[in-house]
Amino acid sequence: MKLSPQIGFLSENNVEFKKVSNPMTDDTFFTATILIVDDDPSSLRQLKRVLVNAGYENIISASDSKRALNVCSDKQPDLIFLRLSIQCLDGDARLDAFKACYKKPDFPIIVLANQGDLKTRLMAHKWGVREFLDQPYSPSEVCFRVRYILKNA
């Protein structure tokens, strides 16, 4: 393939392909804004530590729904980790509130769940959530899921 400066790439048959631009490139993965919403201080610290050790720089944490919704509305994070059992809102209302304050077209969220928590998964699936992180989780799984979502956002 040859590079065409005006179009993108030219194939062997000179068929033009436009280069697709993803705003989240390898250079910007680690500067993505990540919001962690969890009312368990230990779990919140553990997940934040995994992300910091992996090199992510902009991590915001919230231990209640009100602060989390304000952060979501103001900062428009690139990714949200959300525990649905957090106090103040039931799961349906919480997901609806997050979607309402999120202005980007995609809803990049990873639901934090306890292993085998089918009720949480079913409720989250109803709202379009497709990524889950079961506790206990491995740091490598966290990093894989974060990179996958940021790359495909």
* pLDDT digit string, tens, across residues 49-74: 999 999 999 999 998 888 888 998 89
CATH number of the domain encompassing residue 148: 3.40.50.2300
What is the chain's mean pLDDT, rounded? 76
Query: Which tokens hold the place of 137?
Result: 């989780």
Q: Does 85 reside within a domain?
A: yes
- Using CA of residue 100, residue 132, residue 46, residue 83, what is the dihedral sign? positive
Model confidence band, residue 33 (pLDDT cutoffs 50, 70, 90): very high
Q: Does 5 reside within a domain?
A: no
Mean pLDDT (whole number) for 88-92? 50
- CA angle (17 as vertex; 5, 13 as ends), nearest 5: 95
Examine the pLDDT at 28 and tell me if it is beyond 80.
no
Examine the pLDDT at 132 and tell me if it is beyond 90.
no
Q: Does 2 reside within a domain?
A: no
Examine the pLDDT at 13 and tell me if it is beyond 50.
no
Q: Does 111 reside within a domain?
A: yes
Q: What are phi and psi of 112, to 5 degrees?
A: -85, 125
% the chain with pLDDT above 90: 31
Q: Which residues contact 80 (CB under 8 A, 6 or more apart)?
A: 34, 35, 36, 37, 72, 98, 108, 109, 110
Higher pLDDT, 145 or 6: 145
**pTM, rounded to two decimals:** 0.76
Q: Does 3 reside within a domain?
A: no
| Model pLDDT, residue 17 | 40
For the chain, report the end-to-end CA distance as a whole number of angstroms: 27
Mean pLDDT (whole number) for 16-32? 59
Q: Which residues contact 127 (CB under 8 A, 6 or more apart)?
A: 92, 95, 96, 99
| Model pLDDT, residue 129 | 79
Q: Does 13 reside within a domain?
A: no
Mean pLDDT (whole number) for 78-98? 70
Q: Does 6 reside within a domain?
A: no
Q: Which domain holds residue 94?
A: 23-152
Query: Which tokens hold the place of 28?
Result: 């910007």
Q: Does 8 reside within a domain?
A: no
In this predicted structure, which of 17-26, 47-56, 126-135 has the lowest mean pLDDT? 17-26
Q: Are 141 and 74 in contact (CB under 8 A)?
A: no
Tally of domains in the chain: 1
Q: Which residue has the tokens 């509130």?
A: 97
CA gap 47, 60 in Å, rounded: 11
